[in-house]
Amino acid sequence: AQKITQTQPGMFVQEKEAVTLDCTYDTSDQSYGLFWYKQPSSGEMIFLIYQGSYDEQNATEGRYSLNFQKARKSANLVISASQLGDSAMYFCAMRDNQAGTALIFGKGTTLSVSS
């Protein structure tokens, strides 16, 4: 069975600093996708970044990058130059690449950015 593990319940960072949120996953599939979502206090899940299991390059989307280490089964999210608006819950999720399969989420990490 697929599983996502996020071991950091909370992280604290100062504005303009970089922060890494950890995510490890477990799957026996060869083809899968990894996602990161942000959930502010309003409740909506906001897509941040995607990494496919066969992608050779680490994914980047603006200030977000994904440190993908396939052999270690880790997919850590790096946020550069943190902003106050980055304070939120962050969820790592996985889906195998068979069409229609639902996302499996980790428990999340609460990020607090201070000035």
Partner 1 sequence: DTGVSQDPRHKITKRGQNVTFRCDPISEHNRLYWYRQTLGQGPEFLTYFQNEAQLEKSRLLSDRFSAERPKGSFSTLEIQRTEQGDSAMYLCASSSGTGGRSTEAFFGQGTRLTVV
* Residues found near partner 1 in the complex (CB under 8 A): 4, 33, 35, 37, 42-47, 50, 52, 91, 93, 95, 97-108
Count the Cβ atoms, other than its own, within 10 Å of residue 34.
Answer: 25
Nearer to partner 1 by C-beta: 86 or 106?
A: 106
Q: How far is the CB of 111 from partner 1 (least distance, A)?
A: 15
Nearer to partner 1 by C-beta: 16 or 54?
A: 54
Q: How far is the CB of 93 from partner 1 (least distance, A)?
A: 7
E strands, 1-115, are 3-5, 10-14, 19-21, 24-26, 32-39, 46-52, 60-61, 64-69, 74-79, 88-96, 104-105, 109-114
Q: How far is the CB of 71 from partner 1 (least distance, A)?
A: 21
